[in-house]
Amino acid sequence: MKNTPPTTDPVSTLSAEALLEWEANAESVLRGVAHALNNRAASMSALTSLCMEPDYTPQATSKLLATEVDRMRDLVAVVRAVGAPRGDVEAFEPADAAQSASGVIAMHAALRDREVKLNANAAPVRTYRWMFVRGLVVLAARAAPNRSPIVLNVTERDGFVIAAADSATGRSPYLAEIARAMGGEHLEEASGFKIPTLATLRQREGR
């Protein structure tokens, strides 16, 4: 398959079938977020009660409060990741995008009890970061239904970045279509996708 530049309007190119596949995953993530928000609310309630105690001191709760604020920020980042697509084509490190995907995967209700390992020591790419992150989430969600860890590998091979998972092989409408929108292709036999590295794109552009 010949690779093409990333699509200028990727959302409009996705089929109803692909969008439904992503929607199912987004709903699972939001269920996980709702569960986490309940936990945060309970923690904040406990901190409020602690502040009412006669022997209350600010130092006793400052670290706990800071931790809760950080957790809330993490939840905001997850909601943004599964919300309306943001951003145009950009250059980024796959490892950074994989870290963002880890936060989303951790909230996925269907993956709550699964260990997910992300290995993303690969060359920079230039495409839609939000789409790359969602691709990793879908790969994890397609994992075989057992208790073994889910492993997502992002590695450089033949001038491309490969994202593959220990997950069900076969056609995924969402992965197939976002891979094409990112200027790459879906790898059904490896349950993943591949896209050009930034260096490969620059070569093609004569830089």
Chain-wide mean pLDDT for the chain? 82
The DSSP bridge pattern shows strands 116-119 and 150-157 to be parallel
- Tokens representing residue 58 in the block: 């600010």
Q: What's the CATH architecture for 13-207?
A: 2-Layer Sandwich (3.30)
Rounded to whole angstroms, the Cα distance separating 41 from 45 reads 6
Measured at the CA of 169, the angle between CA 201 and CA 122, to 5 degrees, comes to 30
18-27, 80-89, 167-176: which has the highest mean pLDDT?
18-27
Whether 71 has a pLDDT exceeding 70, the answer reads yes
Q: Which helix (H) or strand (E) holds 64?
A: helix 58-82
Cβ atoms within 10 Å of 29's Cβ, excluding its own: 24
Read off the pLDDT band of 202 (50, 70, 90).
confident
Q: Tell me the Ramachandran region of residue 78: left when phi exceeds 0, alpha when psi lies from -120 to 50, beta otherwise.
A: alpha
Domain regions of the chain by residue span:
13-207
Q: Which helix (H) or strand (E) holds 119?
A: strand 116-119
Which pLDDT value is given to residue 154? 73
What's the average model confidence in pLDDT over 88-117?
Answer: 86
Which pLDDT value is given to residue 1? 45
What's the average model confidence in pLDDT over 136-143?
Answer: 85
Contact (Cβ atoms closer than 8 angstroms) between residue 89 and residue 127 = yes
Read off the pLDDT band of 158 (50, 70, 90).
low
Residue 107, Cβ density class (10 Å: 0-12 exposed, 13-18 middle, ≥19 buried): buried
Residue 186, Cβ density class (10 Å: 0-12 exposed, 13-18 middle, ≥19 buried): buried
Query: Cα separations (Å) of 91 from 141, 146, 166?
Result: 26, 35, 27
Q: How far apart are the first and last CA of the chain?
A: 23
**Which range, of 72-76, 143-147, 171-175, averages the lowest pLDDT?**
143-147
pTM of the model: 0.83
